[in-house]
Amino acid sequence: MISKRLNKIHFERGQLVERIAYQRLEIRKEIAPAVRLLQRAENITNKAITYTNKGLDFLIKYPETVVALFVLLLFKKPRSIFRWARRGFFVWRAWGTLRRNLKAFGF
């Protein structure tokens, strides 16, 4: 009696394990496009971070070049320099806010 019941429980467990394995495969198939999209986004983000770090390294290594370009453009087109300075300031502030928010979420 107990043996039949135990056999039935093992059989049902085997069926459940089989169904779980099938569902896992189905989920993998369904999320595959999202995984590829997230991998592309991660690659783009990594490239953006790399180029940003290279740009910051350049600014730190050659500040006189950046200042000279800024002064040259200031004499050439003062309005556009101030417009771009405002845009740059906005981007700088937005980047700081984004970094703080990402750190808050554990990224």
Claim to verify: residue 9 and residue 27 sit in the same structural domain: yes
Residues 56 and 69 occupy one common structural domain: no
Residues 2, 53 within the same domain: yes
pLDDT at residue number 1? 66
The pair phi, psi for residue 32, each rounded to 5°, is -55, -45
**pLDDT, tens digit, for every residue of 8-46?**
999 999 999 999 999 999 999 999 888 888 899 899 999
Write out the residue range of the structural domain in which residue 21 sits.
1-61
Contact in structure between 74 and 81 (CB atoms under 8 Å): yes
One domain, residues 22 and 1: yes
Could you tell me if 56 and 74 lie in one domain? no
Task: Please give the pLDDT value at position 9.
Answer: 93
Tell me if the pTM is above 0.85.
Answer: no
Token reading at 59:
């600014």
Query: Of 44, 61, 78, which residue is a domain's last?
Result: 61
Write down the pLDDT at residue 22.
Answer: 96
pLDDT for the residue 92:
87
Per-residue pLDDT of 92-103, as tens digits, reads 899 889 888 888
Higher pLDDT, 43 or 69: 43
Q: Domains in the chain: how many in total?
A: 2
Residue 89 structure tokens? 């300031």
Residues whose CB is less than 8 angstroms from the CB of residue 80 and which lie 6 or more positions away in sequence, other chains included: 73
Same domain, 37 and 84: no
Contact 64, 70 (CB under 8 A): no
**What is the pLDDT, as a whole number, of residue 107?**
67
**Both 95 and 49 in a single domain?**
no
Same domain for 38 and 5? yes
- Tokens at residue 81, please? 């320099």
